[in-house]
Amino acid sequence: MKKVFNFSIPIFLFSIIIFSFNACVDQDFDEPPRDGGITDYETNSTVEAVKKIYEDFNANVPPDEVAIAFITEDVVIGGIVTADDASGNFYKELVMEDATGGIKISLEFTDFNNDYPIGRQIWVKCRGLVIDKYQDSYEIGGGIDEDGRLEGIQRGLADDFIIRGLRGEYIIPEVSSMGNLSLGDVNRLVTLENVEFIDGETDVVFSDNVGLTSVNRNLKDCNGNTILLRTSGYADFAGSTTPAGNGNITAVVGAFNDDLQLFIRDLNDVAAMTGARCSGGGGNPPGGDCDVEEDFSGGTTFDPINETGWTNVAVAGTEPWVYRDFDNDFFAHKQGYQSDDPNIESWLVTPAIDLSTAKVLNFESETAFWAHDGLSVWFSNDFNGNVENATWNQLSANLAGENNANYERVNSGNINLPVGGTGYVAFKYVGDNTTNTSTYRIDNIFVCKP
C-alpha cells in the first residue's frame, strides 16, 4: 500500500526557507549578462588588427586564390554600431566602428535592429568566426557555406559571439570631403560637407521601390568631384525623393570595383541638404561653361531622340536611340531584345563642340539583362552629318557592364577631349535580336571646361 504523507509548513517558515535558498545563489557571473546594458567588457584587439588577420592569411596567395580566414585566437574587439537594418538599406549585416576603422558583421537573420541598433556599444568575441574581404570591404561572419562563401552568424549563436552594451553611444562621424576619401575609409561613417545631387537627379526617387532593385544616384561637390550614392529598392525611403539643395550628407562608405560609394541609413542622413546649390549652374561633374548639357528631359517615351543639334541614326537596322524614363527621369535607351532588326548599329552624336580650349566629357550609363558589351563612345573632328563618312576614334570611358546590377548607374569619369578645332562625341550601340541583346541607357551628358 502506497503511503501518502501530508506536510503542513507554517507560512513564516516557508518564507525563511525561500529566503535562505536565494541567499545561497552565486551572484558572480563568469561572463556579463547577455540581455544587454553592460557598461564594459575587456577587449584585446582592434578592427584594424582583425583585418590584418585576413591579410596575413592571404599574404602569399595569388589574387585569384585568396580565401576566407578562420580566426583561431582569443580576439575580442569592441565598437559602436553605425548601421543596422531598421530602414532596409542594410540587409543581414551591421556595421561597427572603433578608433581604428569600420567593419561589417554578417548575420543570418533580419530584424536585428532592436538588439544591435545604431549607437549601441558591442563587443565581438572573434574566436571561431571567419573574416573575408569583398570589394575592399572586410566582413566578419559565422562560417563558410557549401559554396565556399562567407555565411553570417546564426541567430541562435549571436549571443555567444556578440556582447551587447549600452545604447545611445553614437559615433561622431568624421568630417571629410569627396577628394579626401580613400579605400581605407570603407565601412566608416563620414560626413561630407557641401555636396548636392547632380542636375537630373534632384527630386527623383532614391531607388526603384517598385521593381525592388538598387539604384545609384550621383552626388557632386562644388569642385567637380563626384561619388555614387547607392540605395536598395527595399529601403523604406526608396520611394522618397532626393533633395534639390546643397549641404552635408552622413553615410557609410562602401566600394565597388575600387570605386567608392555611399550608403545612407535613413533620410536623416540627408536632412541638411537644403542650402543653395553650387554656383555656375552645376550638375555637370566637369565644372562649368559647357557646350553640351543633356538630360533628355524634353522627350516623349518611345519616341526617337530628337534634341537640337544632335544626330540620331540607325546605320544597321531601323531603330535609332529612343527616349525612355523611370519615374519621370528621362534618358536615351537602346536594346537588342525584342527588336525587329537582326543586326543593329545605332549612333547618337552630340552637337558640335568648340575645342579651341580644353573640354571634358562626363556622362552616366546603365545596363540591364546584360548579354554583351554593346555600348562604346567615339570622337570625331571631321563629322559632317554622315557617321559612315567620318573618322572616329574610340574613347576610354567607365561604362556599365557585366559586373553591374541591372540599371545600376555608372559614372564615366571625366574624359579629356583632344584640343583643337571642332569635335563631336558619339554613343554607338551594336547588337542583334538573338544573342547580343543587352539593354543600355545613357544620361546626364556634359561636355564642359574642366
Per-residue pLDDT tens for 62-121?
878 889 999 999 999 999 999 999 999 999 999 999 999 999 999 999 999 999 999 999
Q: What is the pTM of this model?
A: 0.59
Per-residue pLDDT tens for 223-282?
878 899 999 999 999 999 999 999 999 999 999 887 899 999 999 999 999 988 885 333
User: No. of H helices and E strands in the chain?
Assistant: 3, 29
In a domain, 131, yes or no: yes
Contact 69, 133 (CB under 8 A): no
Give the integer Cα–Cα distance in Å for 182 and 371. Answer: 32
Domain tally, the chain: 3
Q: Look at residue 32 in the predicted model and tell me its pLDDT.
A: 43
- Angle (CA) 165-167-170 rounded to 5° is 110
Confidence band of 27 (pLDDT split at 50, 70, 90): very low
In a domain, 9, yes or no: no
Which domain does 54 fall in, by range? 47-164
Place of cell 578562420: 70
Handedness of CA 405, 247, 82, 167 (dihedral sign): negative
Q: Is 337 helix (H, G, I), strand (E, B) or coil?
A: coil
In a domain, 21, yes or no: no
Give the integer Cα–Cα distance in Å for 137 and 103. Answer: 7
Give the integer Cα–Cα distance in Å for 363 and 356. Answer: 21
Q: What percent of the chain has pLDDT above 90?
A: 75
Confidence band of 30 (pLDDT split at 50, 70, 90): very low
In a domain, 407, yes or no: yes
The β-bridge partners of 379 are: 393, 425
Q: Look at residue 8 in the predicted model and tell me its pLDDT.
A: 36
CA–CA distance from 111 to each of 10, 125, 171 (Å)? 50, 22, 22
Q: How are beta strands 121-125 and 130-134 bridged, if at all?
A: unpaired
Q: What is the DSSP letter of 154?
A: P
In a domain, 348, yes or no: yes
Contact 333, 365 (CB under 8 A): no
Same domain (yes/no): 211, 105: no
Q: Look at residue 66 in the predicted model and tell me its pLDDT.
A: 86
- Domain CATH number, residue 139: 2.40.50
Same domain (yes/no): 260, 217: yes
Same domain (yes/no): 236, 296: no
Same domain (yes/no): 321, 432: yes
CA–CA distance from 229 to each of 43, 218, 255, 416 (Å)? 34, 6, 11, 25
Same domain (yes/no): 153, 188: no
Same domain (yes/no): 222, 196: yes
The torsion angle over the Cα atoms of residues 325, 330, 331 and 333, rounded to 10 degrees, is 30
Confidence band of 326 (pLDDT split at 50, 70, 90): confident
Same domain (yes/no): 157, 184: no
Same domain (yes/no): 104, 185: no
In a domain, 77, yes or no: yes
- Domain CATH number, residue 245: 2.40.50.140
Contact 398, 437 (CB under 8 A): no
Beta strands in 181-303 (DSSP E): 189-197, 215-221, 226-231, 247-256, 259-263, 288-294
